[in-house]
Amino acid sequence: MADLILYTNPQSRGRIAHWMMEELGEPFETIWLDYGPAMKAPEYLAVNPMGKVPTLRHGDVVVTESAAICAYLADRFPGKGLIPPAADPRRAAWFRWMFFVAGPLEMALTARSLDWKVPDGRSRMVGFGSYADALHGLEVALTPGPFVCGAQFTAADVVVGSAIIWGMVFGTIEKRSALEAYAQRCMTRPAYQRSVTVNDAIVQAGTA
């Protein structure tokens, strides 16, 4: 059994964590769970009480939430170059946009998808302010390029890139030139392409 085990489903945010595993390049085992009894079985609930994916098990350590998994792995394997060194100023951007996507952007896209309306004058009460504000912030952050931390591709790009790529697929993110160019750079990554191939094959086989 591998020391790193990823519990996931090919039609979930688990794709983010799976892409990260491919970027990491360490041996890992994938346990594919469907959205039926397997994800709510006592054996899995003992690992993740919420009964959802993704979940990472690293020895005796358990990490849930896709952004947290990416952050944990980057920090745990610093030699892989997926997080700037602690004293590097670029580390601030790494944290900033990792948390931005997991918080404000996620909420803004969910609200847009479900047609949730923030009452007039109440935007200060929600972390994302407005959909327009969240998207503008993302666009400004990515315009310098080529990646979140400049020339270095990091785990933050796995999280940010996944949000943009899937947001464009499902129509929750507008196809602005800076965002499209960034997404294209992410999608040329061999690790991204390997992950897509593996997950798509599982979907086609209907085994998860």
pLDDT of res. 34: 95
Q: Extract the tokens encoding 33.
A: 């769970």
Q: Is the pLDDT of residue 127 over 90?
A: no
Same domain, yes or no: 185 and 197: no
Q: Extract the tokens encoding 123.
A: 């935007």
Is residue 120 very low, low, confident or very high in pLDDT (cuts 50, 70, 90)? Answer: confident
Same domain, yes or no: 96 and 185: yes
Same domain, yes or no: 174 and 119: yes
pLDDT of res. 123: 81
Same domain, yes or no: 60 and 94: no
Mean pLDDT of 195-207: 94
Q: Extract the tokens encoding 71.
A: 């952050």
Distance set, CA 70 to CA 102, 131, 146 (Å): 11, 25, 20
Across all residues in the chain, what is the average pLDDT?
A: 95
State how far the Cα of 114 lies from the Cα of 145, in Å rounded to an integer. Answer: 31
pLDDT of res. 1: 59
Beta strands (DSSP E) in 59-160 are 61-64
Same domain, yes or no: 124 and 153: yes
pLDDT of res. 2: 74
Mean pLDDT of 95-106: 96
pLDDT tens profile 33-89: 999 899 999 999 999 999 999 999 999 999 999 999 999 999 999 999 999 999 999
Same domain, yes or no: 140 and 76: no
Range of the structural domain that residue 54 is part of: 4-81+192-205
Same domain, yes or no: 146 and 71: no
Same domain, yes or no: 43 and 97: no
Q: Looking at residue 69, which CATH number applies to its domain?
A: 3.40.30.10
Q: Which long-range contacts (CB under 8 A, 24 or more apart) does 106-112 make?
A: 106/163, 108/134, 108/135, 109/163, 109/167, 109/172, 109/173, 112/172
CA atoms lying within 13 Å on the CB side of residue 33 = 24
Same domain, yes or no: 59 and 108: no
Non-local (6+) Cβ contacts of 188 within 8 A are none
Q: Extract the tokens encoding 59.
A: 């020895």
Mean pLDDT of 140-151: 94
Same domain, yes or no: 131 and 167: yes
pLDDT tens profile 151-169: 999 999 999 999 999 999 9
Same domain, yes or no: 38 and 125: no
pLDDT tens profile 128-139: 889 999 999 999
Mean pLDDT of 5-22: 98
According to DSSP, the β-strands at 4-8 and 55-58 are antiparallel
Q: Looking at residue 133, which CATH number applies to its domain?
A: 1.20.1050.10
pLDDT of res. 177: 94
Same domain, yes or no: 38 and 119: no
State how far the Cα of 177 lies from the Cα of 181, in Å rounded to an integer. Answer: 6
| pTM for this predicted structure | 0.95
Q: Is the pLDDT of residue 200 over 90?
A: yes
DSSP class of residue 101 equals: I
Non-local (6+) Cβ contacts of 24 within 8 A are 73, 77, 80, 82
Q: Is the pLDDT of residue 91 over 80?
A: yes
As for how many domains the chain has, the answer is 2
